[in-house]
Chain A
Amino acid sequence: MKRSTQIGLGAVGLILVASAWPESRNDNLVYNDAAACRADGKLTPEQCAQRFQEARAAHARDSQKYGSQGACEAEFGPGKCAATPPAASQTSGGHLWAPALVGFMVGRGLMASTSGQPLLPPTRETCPPGNASPECQPARSRSGGFGSWYSTTSGRPVATRGDGTAAATVASRGGFGSLGRGFSSGS
């Protein structure tokens, strides 16, 4: 016979759709520092040290620099900025200010080979002044376990879950579908 002997539709599907969403093994891990990373035990001490070092270097290199403490705090909030050592190329001798390094993010799974990424305090855009929500308070857990907001050096928000993994946040939407508008995609 050249045709199927029976066709079942939808019978199994309903059960599977309702099943629990499995945690992604590709989420990022977030730590306040190398010690918190070692304590968590998901990475080796060497990996923790290397990724933290990478994050520190990226922080020094990539974080936005401000000419005054006030200018920096206007963006990141009071007490969230630190003076940076004068760069070798800088001739005026004064300090520059940058958002403090408050954590670092390391990839797992697909993203495991990426460097440690520096995490900064959330920007005012993410956590406006007076926002009392727990995720806008300083991280209290050594592994970021309360669920906190951070930002990256490029200003994108990062949120951690209660389990200390960072759900990468949606940076944009709508990048597909523009050419198909009004036409069938099928053939």
Chain B
Amino acid sequence: MKRLTLRKRADWQAQVERLGFAFHTIDGELYWDEGAAYSFSLKQIEEDIEAPTGEIEQMCFAFVARAVADDAILTKLAIPPAHWDLIAESWARGDRNLYGRLDLAYDGAGPAKLLEHNADTPTALFEAAVVQWDWLEQAMDQTLISPGRDQFNSLHERLIAACRNLWPALPAQMHFAAMADSVEDRGTVEYLEDCARQAGLVTRFVPIEDIGLLTDGRFADRDGRPISHLFKLYPWEWMFRERYGPNLRASGCRFVEPPWKALLSNKGLLAYLWEMEPGHPNLLPSFFEGDAAAASLGPRYIRKPLYSREGANVSIVENGKARGDAAGPYGAEGFVVQEAARIPDFGGRYPVLGSWLVASEPCGLGIREDATTITRDTSRFTPHVIEP
């Protein structure tokens, strides 16, 4: 694993905008950064990233199977009891999941370590699936990088195939919802809608704030059309607690990601995985805060809220002092503490690997690097290549 410094395409902004990538620069800061790329051997990709990602997904399935039948686990995860049935039913029915992203710490040598599982509302998808793919094709054409390189990235074709197989038969239409005012979320949803259309689905977007409730208990879009199948780029833990939370089960709506994914997007997963497979080479020691065993972590560890996104409210604790506590709305439901992974230092840049799963199959990699060891929403996306 190496960090290559590269010349950017002369017209890189125009090239990524051609793809419809609207957020290459966020609040004046570079987000898409093709001035660098991470380079891997095929062996590193297949043995150190792809295989462990599949293995961790299987461990997650074992955890969900256990959790849906265990009130103590659901309580510990701070899942409101009113939604336990919704979750258990979606699991028992075999509701399929579309995608997820494992965040891994990896330096090219030791085993990759699971930092967290973005199982419910992962973003940074379009740049991983399309923008870095297109970059590699052009960069090789323009000999900005030597030809013959590959990329761990079959996300696009897997997403289309997965959309086709979400349900036994294609529904008449599928709605897609996200917060209307988030450019990044909207972009992610537009891309997934595109994949769904290529899979043969009729799609309709509805801002999550505009969803309505019909007199018969179903959800509806802005035009009052019933929503029977909904992709929502909006966290389950929020939907559970909002005004329509009590209407979820009776709505008859089928959701992507399905309700059982709420058990995996919860950071409490990390403590349970460690409990189930203590010493697993791809796991970091993790515990619920206050658990007596957490003392084994030593004076330096990471503290994460059960619910947290984009690094919000995650802090590094050193000798009792917390730092890096990015502002955010999380933490009320409790915390897990996790051994501080060694995030490799590539000349002052700290990469975190996003290992993608589509329909639970590992099939892609997206890397975000930051100037600190907590990956936040200001981290840059950097493409990767596989050496010939």
Verify if A91 is at the interface (C-beta below 8 Å from B).
no
**Which residues does chain A contribute within 8 Å of B242, judged by CB atoms?**
175-179
**Which residues does chain A contribute within 8 Å of B177, judged by CB atoms?**
176
Q: Is the CB of B185 within 8 A of A111?
A: no
What separation, in Å, do the CA atoms of A183 and B376 have in the docked complex?
13
Kindly identify, within residues 181 to 210 of chain B, every residue whose CB is under 8 Å from any CB belonging to chain A.
182, 184-185, 188, 193-194, 197-198, 200-203, 207-210
Q: How far is the CB of A171 from chain B (nearest CB, A)?
A: 5
| A27 closest partner in B (C-beta) | B226
Q: How far is the CB of A28 from chain B (nearest CB, A)?
A: 6
Q: How far is the CB of B371 from chain A (nearest CB, A)?
A: 20
**Which residues does chain B contribute within 8 Å of A90, judged by CB atoms?**
none
Verify if B377 is at the interface (C-beta below 8 Å from A).
yes
What separation, in Å, do the CA atoms of A157 and B215 have in the docked complex?
8
Q: Is the CB of A178 within 8 A of B130?
A: no
Q: CB < 8 Å: which of B124, B200, B203, B244 contacts A176?
A: B244
Verify if B211 is at the interface (C-beta below 8 Å from A).
yes
Q: Is the CB of A24 within 8 A of B213?
A: no
Verify if A170 is at the interface (C-beta below 8 Å from B).
yes
Q: Is the CB of B210 within 8 A of A173?
A: yes
Q: How far is the CB of A18 from chain B (nearest CB, A)?
A: 10
Q: CB < 8 Å: which of A25, A111, A173, A178 contacts B216?
A: A111
What separation, in Å, do the CA atoms of A35 and B216 have in the docked complex?
24
Verify if A185 is at the interface (C-beta below 8 Å from B).
yes
Q: How far is the CB of A50 from chain B (nearest CB, A)?
A: 19
Q: Is the CB of B150 within 8 A of A2?
A: yes
**Which residues does chain B contribute within 8 Å of A180, judged by CB atoms?**
179, 208, 234-235, 238
Q: Is the CB of A174 within 8 A of B209?
A: yes
Verify if B122 is at the interface (C-beta below 8 Å from A).
yes
Chain B contributes a number of interface residues (CB within 8 A of A) equal to 76
**Which residues does chain A contribute within 8 Å of B47, judged by CB atoms?**
none
**Which residues does chain A contribute within 8 Å of B215, judged by CB atoms?**
152, 156-158, 168-171
| A10 closest partner in B (C-beta) | B194
Verify if B309 is at the interface (C-beta below 8 Å from A).
yes
**Which residues does chain B contribute within 8 Å of A181, judged by CB atoms?**
179
Verify if B53 is at the interface (C-beta below 8 Å from A).
no
**Which residues does chain A contribute within 8 Å of B315, judged by CB atoms?**
none
Binary per-residue interface labels of chain B (218-260) against chain A in the complex, 1 for a CB within 8 Å, 0 otherwise: 1010001110100001110011011110010000100000000
Kindly identify, within residues 136 to 178 of chain A, every residue whose CB is under 8 Å from any CB belonging to chain B.
152, 156-158, 167-178
**Which residues does chain B contribute within 8 Å of A152, judged by CB atoms?**
215
Contacts A13-B198, A21-B225, A175-B244 given: A169-B214 contact, CB under 8 Å? yes
Verify if B20 is at the interface (C-beta below 8 Å from A).
yes
Q: Is the CB of A3 within 8 A of B244?
A: no
What separation, in Å, do the CA atoms of A87 and B220 have in the docked complex?
39
What separation, in Å, do the CA atoms of A11 and B198 have in the docked complex?
8
Q: Is the CB of B208 within 8 A of A17?
A: no
Q: Is the CB of B214 within 8 A of A9?
A: no
Q: Is the CB of A186 within 8 A of B121?
A: yes
**Which residues does chain A contribute within 8 Å of B209, judged by CB atoms?**
174, 176-177
Kindly identify, within residues 9 to 36 of chain A, every residue whose CB is under 8 Å from any CB belonging to chain B.
9-13, 16-17, 19, 21-22, 24-26, 28
Q: CB < 8 Å: which of A17, A168, A176 contacts B218?
A: A168
Kindly identify, within residues 137 to 156 of chain B, every residue whose CB is under 8 Å from any CB belonging to chain A.
150-156
What separation, in Å, do the CA atoms of A172 and B242 have in the docked complex?
14
Q: How far is the CB of A100 from chain B (nearest CB, A)?
A: 20
Q: How far is the CB of B117 from chain A (nearest CB, A)?
A: 10
Q: CB < 8 Å: which of A4, A10, A25, A177 contacts B208?
A: A177
A–B Cβ pairs within 8 angstroms, 7 of them: A4-B133, A11-B198, A111-B252, A177-B179, A185-B208, A186-B123, A187-B310
Write the residues of chain A forming the contact surface with B, with a CB cutoff of 8 angstroms: 1-5, 7-13, 16-17, 19, 21-22, 24-26, 28, 107, 110-111, 152, 156-158, 167-181, 183-187
